[in-house]
Amino acid sequence: MNIRNSVKAIIMKGEKILLTKNHDHEGYFYLCPGGGQEYGETFHETLVRECLEEIGRKISIGELLYIREYIGKNHEHSAFDFEVHQVEYYFACQLNGMGESSFHPSNPDLHQVGIEWIPVHDLLQYRMYPKQLRKFIIKHHNEEKTPIYLGDVN
């Protein structure tokens, strides 16, 4: 088994955060854009590529906000994620260029059905993964101190 690195973008504009909208057998769920690091890529190269694929936009990358581990056997989706161990790195990012609603994904994820700006203060009402990240994003938005390492959470 290998540990997989994943790099994610936290893109906020005013009171909203940009998330990919996805659909599975339980309904809609939301994720920060980003994905798995490929061999030979830096985190920044991965994040730029993944954002082009999932939201169709170039980004500027800021500071590292969070590190989250996901050890599948410890969580509710262990039936199909039992052997997954992923470390995710969440960076503050901004969209480059104009047009806050102009998105043209080149290679969306399997379950991805759209892209949405979600009000930050409403995040707890959405099925977003990781679930624990929602409260930290809200605190960050409110300029409250948050840990960088979030541990093995979902």
Domain boundaries, the chain: 4-152
Q: What are the pLDDT digits (tens) for 19-63? A: 999 999 999 999 999 999 999 999 999 999 999 999 999 999 999
In this model, does residue 98 exceed pLDDT 70? Answer: no
7, 34 in Cβ contact below 8 A?
yes
For residue 34, what are the CA distances in angstroms to 91, 103, 145, 149? Answer: 10, 15, 24, 18
Residue spans of alpha helices (H) in the chain? 43-54, 78-81, 131-141
* Cβ–Cβ under 8 Å, residues 124 and 37: no
pLDDT confidence band for 99 (50 / 70 / 90): low
- pLDDT confidence bin for 124, thresholds 50/70/90: very high
71 membership: H or E segment, kind and range = strand 59-71
What band does 1 get if pLDDT is binned at 50, 70 and 90?
Answer: low
Q: Region 72-94: what's the mean pLDDT? A: 87
pLDDT at 105: 85
User: What are the residues facing 95 on neighbouring strands?
Assistant: 59
Record the pTM. 0.92
List Cα–Cα distances, 130 to 16, 41, 137, 153, in angstroms: 18, 24, 11, 7
Assigned architecture for domain 4-152:
Alpha-Beta Complex (3.90)
Mean pLDDT of 102-112: 83
How far apart CA 81 and CA 53 sit, in angstroms, is 24
